[in-house]
Amino acid sequence: MKFTDFILPGSVNTQLEATTKEGVIRELARSLASAGGFPESELEGVITAIMRREELGTTGIGNGIAVPHTKHISAERLIGAVGVSEDGVDFSSLDSEKVNLFFLLVSPPDRPGEHLRALEHITRHLKDDKFCGELKRADSPEKVMKLLVEADERVV
């Protein structure tokens, strides 16, 4: 699996405006809908599903990173968005630090293996402090996509 398999072009935002957990989720989910990931009419349902997942336990994994995710019937395939917040957002992270880097995933309910592989792929790469730092400093969606493609190329 590669980032380019699920991060939708047009769903990368390097200037998140949201200042709350729900605001970030809303902003990233909206970018997925706008990029054609699911119908706009399903936006509130997707946001509700992600927020329900957050109630089970935070997806703020520490080091300024969060990976909010859910399964939802409106997704025909695994889709993802990336967001960067310069100031950071309180995401109730495991380390209690603000989050600057977000990967949001939505997948069909009938493809749990694909969902888990994407989460594993993301977390494997996010263990690389240099990669995370470059993503957090990326000043354009094009730069983020370039970094993700380069990360994909390093995978053997």
pLDDT recorded at residue 112: 84
Q: Look up the pTM and report it.
A: 0.93
Question: Does domain 3-154 match CATH 3.30.230.10?
Answer: no
Domain ranges of the chain: 3-154
Query: Which residues sit opposite 71 in a β-bridge?
Result: 107
67-126 residue pLDDT tens: 999 999 999 999 999 999 999 999 988 898 999 999 999 999 998 888 899 989 998 898
Selected catalytic residue, list 69, 72, 115, 121: 69
Residues 6 or more apart whose Cβ sits within 8 Å of residue 101:
64, 65, 66, 82, 83, 84, 85, 126, 132, 135, 136
Identify whether 69 is a catalytic site residue: yes
